[in-house]
Amino acid sequence: MLKHTKNLLERNSFLIAISLTLLIAYLSLSKPIEIEIPIKITFLDKILHASAYFTLTLSWLFALRKKSKFKLISIAIFLYGILMEFLQGWLTNTRQKDIYDVFANSLGILISLFIFDSFYKYLKKIFDS
């Protein structure tokens, strides 16, 4: 079972990372979805940003799986987040750029890097076997 999962991840990890990158671009530039939530969460938007960039970073780390590329991946995703914020302010009427979104994106990236780096040796054993 583990070997089957490993092969599935190896074959599809790059496609998953690209798909998530495109999904975040679409969600960032499309009209926001209004959702009724029974409880009020003040920083829900920032939590969603951190979660999205956490997931995006993890997907690219899994896709490339080289420790030497961790810094490059994190910088590229950080710049991608800044580009999305700029494009929101420039291309849409329903969204606006927000520096706090960039901070939330950065938090998601950093948490992802920390978690992936913490488990890197274990993951390397699984993927290299």
**pLDDT band of 114, cuts 50, 70, 90:** very high
Residue 129 has pLDDT above 60, yes or no: no
State the pLDDT confidence band at 11, using cuts at 50, 70 and 90: confident
Of 73 and 39, more confident: 73
| CB of 85 closer than 8 Å to CB of 101 | yes
The residue among 103 and 3 whose pLDDT is bigger is: 103
Token duo for residue 53: 């960039």
Q: Between 76 and 8, whose confidence is greater?
A: 76
Q: For residue range 41-99, what is the model confidence (pLDDT) as tens digits? A: 668 889 999 999 999 999 999 888 777 788 999 999 999 999 999 999 888 888 888 89
CA distances from residue 60 to 4, 22, 52, 93, 108 in whole angstroms, order as listed: 21, 13, 12, 30, 13
Instruction: Report how far residue 103's alpha carbon sits from residue 82's, in angstroms, rounded to the nearest whole number.
Output: 10
Residue 1 confidence (pLDDT):
59
Residue 4: pLDDT band (50, 70, 90) is low
Q: Say what the pLDDT of residue 68 is.
A: 78
